[in-house]
Amino acid sequence: MNLTSSYSAKSSWLSLRKLALTMAVSAVAMLGYANGANAAYGNVTKESLVDPSILKIDEIKFLGEKVDYDFVLQDESGADFKLGSMIGKPLVLAFSYYTCDGACSVINKNLAETLKGVERWKIGQDYNVLTVSFDQNDTPATLVDFMEKSGFSGGQLPSGWKMTTMREKENIEKLTGSMGFKFFWSPRDALFLHPNVYIMLSPKGRVTRYLYGGTITPTDMELAITKAMGEKIAAANVIDFVVGACYSYNYKDGKYTINIPLFVAAGGLIFGLLLIAGSFSYMKFRRVKHEI
């Protein structure tokens, strides 16, 4: 291989690599924009598409953590009971707020439908379900209204499922924070931003799994309950994260919608990485060819 061809090949390789890196950096920047530009506290897009990135749970930090049994909850009748009374068997925990017009009633309805498909385990017998409000303004009265909106006519919950408020409002953030659940008030839209997630606790009260609302199946729930029984911890898989990230809840339409900017950014990032790999393979092939 002569000096001219070697220089030409090197220049082509550098040009390709520069182009690929530029595209990859641009994709990362776009991804960051899609994840954060319009998702700051109190700054929701005109279409009210809430980006889930600011609400992401640090699973590595909180998986395996044990919750405090002594938190005092109140049911729809105003009766007190401790969180610890719901533990001793797997517990599916959902945080909601009861004046919500959108996602909160949806995730509780979806949970009820999902649990109907869990055949191996019976609610109230093998596991419990608990919905807790993170809004300090919620009362047993707003709770009763929420139960109606969530499809529990006459306030009739399945045996083993309780919907509650916190008696000591100052303990709300202590409970949510102990599981990595974050929520923010948006003054402009007059609503809370929060993740749509079910948190699985083991019989010993340890966090064993996060299941993201809108993406789970009865099989997912059944497996999560089974693992919780054995005190087995499992992080959300890649599919859970991708699907959860690609869908945002549209408060205007009252449904989940695809996060288009995230798809575009991810596509650009993947293309950039493929271009780097392809150009590397091409230059390696040319080098071997010239050596021959």
Quote the tokens at residue 98: 């009861």
| pLDDT number for residue 20 | 45
Q: Within a 10 A sphere around the Cβ of 72, how many other Cβ atoms? A: 13
Half-sphere exposure of 129 (CA within 13 A, CB side): 22
| pLDDT number for residue 127 | 97
Opening angle at CA 107, ends 136 and 85, nearest 5:
60
The pTM of the full predicted model, rounded to 2 decimals, is 0.65
> How far apart (Å, rounded) are the C-alpha atoms in residues 217 and 198?
12
Please write the tens of the pLDDT for every residue from 170-197: 999 999 999 999 988 877 777 888 888 9
Least confident of 40-49, 84-93, 187-196: 40-49
Mean pLDDT value across the chain:
75
Average pLDDT over residues 120-130: 96
Average pLDDT over residues 68-92: 93
Q: Which residues are annotated as a binding site?
A: 100, 104
Average pLDDT over residues 88-100: 94
Parallel, antiparallel, or unpaired for β 161-166 and 128-133? parallel
| pLDDT number for residue 270 | 65
> How far apart (Å, rounded) are the C-alpha atoms in residues 284 and 68?
58
Q: Which residues are annotated as a binding site for Cu cation?
A: 100, 104
Residues above pLDDT 70, as percent of the chain? 62
